[in-house]
Amino acid sequence: MNAIVDVPAANYLPYMPDVGKCQRSLHELNLMWRIIEASAKMNCPVEAKTILPTMAATRAGFSQLEDELVASLVREKVRHVRGEIATKAQYVIEIVVRNLYERTADVGFLATDRELCAFVAGLDDDVEAMRLRLRAYRAKYTVYDEIILLDLAGNVLVQIDEASPLEGSLDPLIAETLAAEGYVETFRATDLRPSKREALIYSRRVCHPDTGAVVGVLCLCFHFEEEMARIFQTHRDDSERTNMLLLDADNRVIASADPLWIPLGAKVPVNHADAPSLMMFAGREYMVSTYGSPGYQGYPGPAGWQGQVMIPLDVAFAELASTALQELDPGFAEGLLSHARTFCPPLFDIMNAADMIRRVVWNGQVMTAGRDGDLSRLRTILEQISETGVRSNELFAHSIRELFATVLASGLRDSEFVSHLLVDLFDRNLYERANDCRWWALSPELRALLAGGLPDRAERMGRILEYINGLYTVYTSLVVYDRDGAIIAGTGDYGLGAISIDAQSLEKVLALRTEQDYHVTPFAPSPLYGGRPTYVYHAAIRAPGEGGAVIGGIGIVFDAEKEFDAMLRGALAGNKAVHAFFVDREGAIIASSDPARAIGTRLDAARAMASLGNGDSASRFLEHDEHYAIMGCTASHGYREFKVSDGYKADVIGVVIESFGELRDANAAGGKTVAAIESDPHNASGVEFATFFVDGSLFAIAAEHVCEAFPASMVTSVSMGGCVEQVGILALDAPSIGEGGRCIWVFDLGVFVSGQETLADHNAQVIVVKHGGRTIGLLVSELHGVAKFDTAQLISTPLAGQREGMLIKQVIKANEGAVLIQVVDAGFLFDMLRNPEGPEAERELDAAAK
C-alpha cells in the first residue's frame, strides 16, 4: 500500500495504550535529564564543563524524541492496520470480479446451445426434458440458484426452481437483453427473483437454431448471497474486528460480512486514496480502505462496484497475543533486527536513541575515570546519569522488544493471509475448468459430429471449439478426440495429426462412468501446451441418446503459465521483497514469481509445511537464499464440491516468502550476551578499564587512554591508498579531547584482533584513544561499560612473555572468572601504526617535538 504521511498522532494515541505509556516515560526521562543538567551547572560547573555539551545534546535529543519517536510509533501501527485492511478490501473486489467474469462466458455459450435454442424457438416442446438439461448444467456450475428461459413477451418457458414458480416477467431487462448483441448484467430487485432483496442476473438473447432470428431470453441467476458469504467466511479475520463489505457505485452496501453491524442498503464513507484520515459512520470513528474493480481478462466487473473494509478505531490497535519473538532463536532475532532500518524505520529510530543514551553514559564514565580529586563532585552527577541511563535503556529495550514483536507478528499474519488468498484463487479458478470440460462434453452438436462420419466434421467441430475458446480465454487449446486418442478437431497450436492423447489419460476418460465425472492430468509437461507443464481437463463424450457409450473425449488445455503468474503477481501487488509460489506436497514448484526458481524445481523451504491439513495455514521464520525471511503457507481446501466431494484430489500449497536482509553471523548482527560486569568503584588500588565489543567478543582498554566515543556514522571514508584496517577519518570537535577542529585516522580494531572487518552498522562506535601525544580512532562493534578491576584480576596471556610485542598481553577475569575480557595494549597498538593521524597531524607532532 502507499506510504502514510502526516498521520495526526493525537487522533490515534488514545487507542494505543502502549504508545501512550512510552510517551509518558519519555517525558519523565526528559525531565530527569533536564534536572541532571541543571544540577551539574549549579553544583560543579567547572568539573562538568567537559560533559555539559553532551548532556545538553542528550536533553535536546530527548525533547525531539518525545515528539518524533511517538509519532513514528503511531505511524508504524497505523501503517500495519491500514495495510491489512487495504489488502483485504482489494481481495474482496478481485475475487468477485474474477468469479463474475466466468459468468459472462457461461451465459454467452449456453445461449447458443442448440437444444436450448430449439426449445425456445418452439421446435421442441418437452419442458421436462429441458428442465433436466438445465439442471444438469446447474449440477456442474453450482454458483447458480436459478436458470430461466423466457419468450419474446417475457413469458416463462421453463425454470429449474419449481419451489418459486413464475408465469412471466415485466422487468425491463427482457427488452434490454433482446436488443443487445452480447450479455446484459443486472443487479437490483426484479420480479424474476421475487423472494430476493436484489438479484444478480446474467442474461442473453436466444436465437433460432436455423434462421438466427431472436426468439427469447436466457437468464442465469447467480447465487450472490451464498457466494459473498463464502468469501467473507474465508477471508474475514478471526477476531472479527473488521467488517468486509461490497459496495455499489453509490457507496451503498450490497453485501456485508456482518449485516447486524453494517446493514445492507446503508450508505458508508469510502476511502479510495488510502488517506490516513478517520471516517465517521453511525457515530463511531473508523479506519476505512476502499478499492474499485481491477478488471480481469478485459471484463471490468459490475459498474462502480467496490470492495471495502472498515475497522473501528477503538479496537483497531488491540494487541493480539503473539509469541513470535519468544519462539525466535536469539541469534536469528539479532540478525533480523540489524535490518530494522529497511523493514521498520521507527524501530531503527528507537535503537538509535538507545545507542545515544548508552554512549552518553559511557562517555561520562570514561571522562571521570581515575580522576577522583578534581572531579569528585561530579561523581554524584555521573551516578545520576548512570541511573537515568539505565532507566532510559530499559524503556528503549522494552519499546524495541514490543515494536519488534508487533512487526514480526504482523509479518507472519500477513504472509498467512496472502497464502490463503492464493490457494483460494487457485481452487476457484480450477473449479471452473472442471465444470467447463464436463458441460462442453454434453454438447449435442459435438456428440453428433464425433459419432457421425461426415467429411466436414472436423471443420464443423473446429468452428464450435473456436467459438467456445473465444469466450473462455484461459485456455490455449480445446481438442476433441476419438476412442483411440486421435485428435479430430481443436483450437490453438496443438499439432493436429502429430499429437494424440496420452494412453494413461485416454484410459481414464474411457472409464468415466457419468457425466459428472472428469479427469485431470497431473501437473506435468504436455505436448498440447508446447511441452510446458500444465493441467489438462478431460471429460468423456458419449454417443447421442440416453445412456450412450463413450466415443471419445474433450480435452481443455489450461494456460497455467499465464494464469498462475497473474494470480501470484496480483497478490504481491508489486512488492519486490516478496515472492510467491504454488507447490505440491513434495515441494515441486507449479508456479513461481521468483525468476531464480523455475517451474518443476523444488522449493525446499516449503517441504517443512508439507503436512499441513487442508485449509490450514502456518507461518515461520527461516533463512532463505542467504536472507532472513518469513514464510507463510496454506494448503488448498477446495471450493464448493471441487476437491471436496467430487473425487478429485491434488493438493496445492500456496507459499509466500518475504525477505528482510542478508544473513549476518551472530557476532556481526550484534549477538552480545555478556552480563553486567561486577566492579568495585571504591577499590583504591584498582585499575579502570573501558570495555566494548568487537565482533561479539568483549575487549577492554585502560580508561586513562580513552577520551570519548562517537557514532561510526560520523566517519568519512577516504580512498588514499590506505590499508584495509584504515577505514577513514573522524572530525573532532569535542572539548573533552582538547583538540577540537582536527581530524584523526580511524582504524578497524576487528582487523587487528581477528582479521575480520567490523560491520559499521547502527551499533558501531568509534573510540578516540590517546597515547604518547598521538590520537587515533578505533572502530568497534558496540560499547559496553567502564569498570574498575583489582590488579589480581589481571592475568598474562600464555605467550605474552615469549614475544617482543603482542596486542593482547593480558585478560581480565571478571565476575569471579565467569567472563574473560581481552585487554588491548595501547602502547603496542600505537607502535603498530605508522603515521596514524595523517600528514597534517604528523607535521604538528614534528613541530611539537622540536
Residue 331 lies in a domain: no
More confident residue, 610 or 301: 301
227 and 371 within one domain: yes
Mean pLDDT of 394-408: 79
At 280 the three-state DSSP class reads strand
- Note the pLDDT tens digit of each residue in 485-507: 999 999 987 666 678 999 999 99
pLDDT for the residue 325? 74
811 and 723 within one domain: yes
830 and 734 within one domain: yes
8 Å CB contact between 606 and 630: no
| Torsion angle, alpha carbons of 437, 440, 446, 447, to 10 | 80
**Strand 519-520 versus strand 536-542 pairing type:** antiparallel
Residue carrying the nine cell digits 577519518: 729
8 Å CB contact between 737 and 769: no
pLDDT for the residue 674? 53
Expressed as residue numbers, the domain containing 467 is 441-561
pLDDT exceeds 50 at position 728? yes
- Note the pLDDT tens digit of each residue in 420-442: 999 999 999 999 999 999 999 99
Task: Say how far apart CA 695 and CA 340 lie, in whole Å.
Answer: 19
- Note the pLDDT tens digit of each residue in 30-72: 888 788 888 888 887 777 776 777 677 777 767 776 777 788 7
394 and 352 within one domain: yes
pLDDT for the residue 666? 55
133 and 88 within one domain: yes
Give me the number of domains the chain comprises.
4
Residue carrying the nine cell digits 485428435: 487
Residue 675 lies in a domain: no
pLDDT for the residue 836? 44
- Note the pLDDT tens digit of each residue in 559-612: 999 999 999 998 887 788 899 999 999 999 999 999 999 999 999 998 888 889
8 Å CB contact between 522 and 537: no
623 and 488 within one domain: no
351 and 241 within one domain: yes
8 Å CB contact between 438 and 648: no
pLDDT for the residue 24? 85
803 and 771 within one domain: yes
pLDDT exceeds 90 at position 21? no
760 closest CA partner among 373, 317, 338, 434: 338
767 closest CA partner among 365, 484, 346: 365
pLDDT for the residue 49? 74
Residue 196 lies in a domain: no
714 and 629 within one domain: no
The residue out of 527, 561, 595 marking a domain boundary is: 561
* N residues, the chain: 850
The residue out of 619, 646, 662 marking a domain boundary is: 662
Task: Say how far apart CA 283 and CA 291 lie, in whole Å.
Answer: 24
End-to-end alpha carbon distance in the chain = 67
8 Å CB contact between 310 and 281: yes
Neighbours of 563 (CB within 10 A): 21
Q: What are the start-end ranges of the H helices in 44-126? A: 52-110, 114-120
840 and 779 within one domain: yes
pLDDT for the residue 610? 86
Q: What is the CATH number of the domain that holds 621?
A: 3.30.450.20
* The 3-state secondary structure of 779-828, one letter per residue: EECEEEEEEEECHHHEEECCCHHHCCCCCEEEEEEEHHHCEEEEEECHHH
pLDDT for the residue 838? 42
Residue 217 lies in a domain: no
594 and 537 within one domain: no
Residue 332 CA, chain-centre distance (Å), reads 19
579 and 557 within one domain: no
Residue 386 lies in a domain: yes
Residue 177 lies in a domain: no
The residue out of 363, 381, 416 marking a domain boundary is: 416
Residue 531 lies in a domain: yes
At 805 the three-state DSSP class reads coil
Grid coordinates standing for 626?
A: 542467504
Residue 328 lies in a domain: no
